[in-house]
């Protein structure tokens, strides 16, 4: 059996743990030949790959990043280096020429959408759900999310003490694109006073009112966790840059500064912002993410061994399962107003910056 492996899209803590788990499982359980493509789909398009043996994946469990490299621009259906030409037939031919029996693709929604397209062209693909954003449908968790939440919660904890000393309003902006999972979990974990999410466009008067209420009640500081995709009701997304040749060209950033400006006009307290950025994606994965990555990788290897494909491995109610790629492609999973974390936060007095959820 010969199996290809690649990591696609933005990097994420736990990628190496998955590479290790897939490769070791396939080597130990069925003596497969495992080939790693470099820089995501770019390696598959350009024919850049290397054999992954046991030694090459040893000692990488705790390492951040990906030993294979990744690309968030490479898409065989729109290859940026050839005027966005569709080179998917070349990719299919390479897969067959290399004698591959399956391709394990570790990535987020963009990568799963491309994978679904290649599966439709006859490739045998098994996906592994990666993203700090936790926004893939069909799985309770993606790996990398727990690490990002840990980093963001630590940052909020640190802002807490300095906010208290200086009687300031401190705003922390998390990543997460169009889903608020990181801000929600980190906000609840740190006891943030206000949590602002893309799913619930905020009313600035409600946010300012929550800060004033704290001040008047003697708590002369406020901690706000805001997701990069959050926006005021009737307002626009804060866009940091546009990357033309990327499958998802919009890069968000600056929602905290938009909010700070509006609050400064309404409050007497000083308002400061911290934009956490890629710190949430770098470094060693948490133990939870190492365990989840090992389960995902091992389970993906099982699916490959059983000759099944067109699936993404998933976590459902604490168990490993799979979901068709067709059900994942082109969709994202958002925070729901009646979700348990939102309800728990509301019951301890956290504001989501809206009158009614």
Residue 252, interface with ligand F6P (CB under 6 A)? yes
> With respect to ligand F6P, which residue has the nearer C-beta, 134 or 350?
134
Residue 259, interface with ligand F6P (CB under 6 A)? no
Residue 251, interface with ligand F6P (CB under 6 A)? yes
Stretch that binds ligand F6P, among 80-88, 117-125, 157-165, 174-182 (CB under 6 A): 174-182
Residues 31-90 that bind ligand F6P (CB under 6 A): 72
- For the bound state, the minimum distance from the C-beta of residue 177 to ligand F6P, rounded and expressed in Å, comes to 4
Among residues 19, 175, 207, 262, which is the contact residue for ligand F6P, using CB under 6 A? 175
* Residues belonging to the active site: 133
> With respect to ligand F6P, which residue has the nearer C-beta, 229 or 310?
229
Among residues 38, 39, 63, 133, which is the contact residue for ligand F6P, using CB under 6 A? 133
Residue 335, interface with ligand F6P (CB under 6 A)? no
Residue 281, interface with ligand F6P (CB under 6 A)? yes
Give the bridge partners for 291, in sequence order.
none
Binding residues for ligand F6P, how many (CB under 6 A)? 13
Among residues 27, 100, 132, 255, which is the contact residue for ligand F6P, using CB under 6 A? 132
- For the bound state, the minimum distance from the C-beta of residue 135 to ligand F6P, rounded and expressed in Å, comes to 8
With helix as H, strand as E and coil as C, how does the chain read?
Answer: CEEEEEECCCCCCCHHHHHHHHHHHHHHHHCCEEEEECCCHHHHHHCCEEECCCHHHCCCCCCCCCCCCCCCCCCCCCEHHHCCECCHHHHHHHHHHCCCCEEEEEECHHHHHHHHHHHHCCCCEEEEEECCCCCCCCCCCCECHHHHHHHHHHHHHHHHHHHHHHCCEEEEEECCCCCCHHHHHHHHHHCCCEEECCCCCECHHHHHHHHHHHHHCCCCCEEEEEECCCCECCCCCCEEEECCCCCCCEEECCHHHHHHHHHHCCCCCCEEEEECHHHHCCCCCCHHHHHHHHHHHHHHHHHHHCCCCCEEEEEECCEEEEEEHHHHCCCCCCCCCCCHHHHHHHHCCCECCCCCC
- For the bound state, the minimum distance from the C-beta of residue 131 to ligand F6P, rounded and expressed in Å, comes to 5
> With respect to ligand F6P, which residue has the nearer C-beta, 133 or 289?
133
Residue 239, interface with ligand F6P (CB under 6 A)? no
> With respect to ligand F6P, which residue has the nearer C-beta, 279 or 291?
279
**Residues at the site binding ligand F6P, with contacts judged by CB under 6 A:** 10, 72, 108, 131-133, 175-177, 228, 251-252, 281
């Amino acid at each position: 059996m010969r199996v290809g492996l690649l990591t696609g899209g933005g990097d994420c803590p736990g990628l190496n743990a998955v590479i290790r788990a897939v490769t070791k499982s396939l080597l130990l359980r069925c003596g497969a030949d495992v080939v790693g493509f470099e820089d995501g789909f770019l390696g598959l398009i350009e024919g850049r790959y290397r054999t992954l043996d046991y030694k090459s994946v040893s000692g990488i469990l705790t390492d951040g990043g990906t030993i294979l490299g990744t690309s968030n621009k490479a898409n065989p259906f729109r290859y940026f280096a050839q005027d966005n030409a569709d080179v998917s037939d070349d990719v299919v031919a390479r897969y067959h020429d290399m004698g591959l029996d399956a391709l394990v693709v570790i990535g987020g929604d963009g990568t799963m959408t491309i994978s679904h397209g290649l599966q439709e062209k006859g490739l045998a693909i098994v996906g592994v759900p990666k993203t700090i954003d936790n926004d893939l449908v069909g799985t309770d968790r993606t790996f990398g999310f727990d690490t990002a939440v840990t980093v963001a919660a630590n940052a909020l904890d640190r802002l807490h003490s300095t906010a208290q000393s200086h009687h300031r309003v401190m705003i922390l902006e998390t990543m997460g694109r169009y889903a608020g999972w990181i801000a929600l979990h980190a906000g609840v974990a740190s006891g943030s006073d206000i949590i602002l999410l893309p799913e619930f466009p905020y009313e600035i008067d409600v946010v300012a009112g929550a800060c004033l209420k704290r001040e008047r009640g003697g708590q002369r500081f406020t901690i706000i966790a805001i997701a990069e995709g959050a926006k005021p009701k009737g307002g626009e997304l804060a866009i940091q840059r546009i990357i033309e040749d990327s499958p998802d060209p919009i890069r968000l950033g600056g929602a905290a500064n938009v909010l700070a400006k509006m609050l400064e006009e309404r409050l007497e307290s000083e308002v400061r912002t911290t934009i956490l950025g890629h710190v949430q994606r770098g470094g060693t994965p948490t133990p939870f993410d190492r365990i989840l990555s090992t389960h995902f990788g091992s389970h993906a290897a099982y699916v490959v061994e059983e000759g099944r494909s067109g699936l993404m491995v998933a976590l459902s109610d604490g168990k490993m399962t799979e979901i068709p790629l067709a059900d994942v492609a082109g969709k994202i999973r958002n925070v729901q107003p009646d979700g348990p974390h939102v309800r728990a936060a509301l019951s301890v007095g956290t504001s989501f910056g809206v009158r009614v959820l």
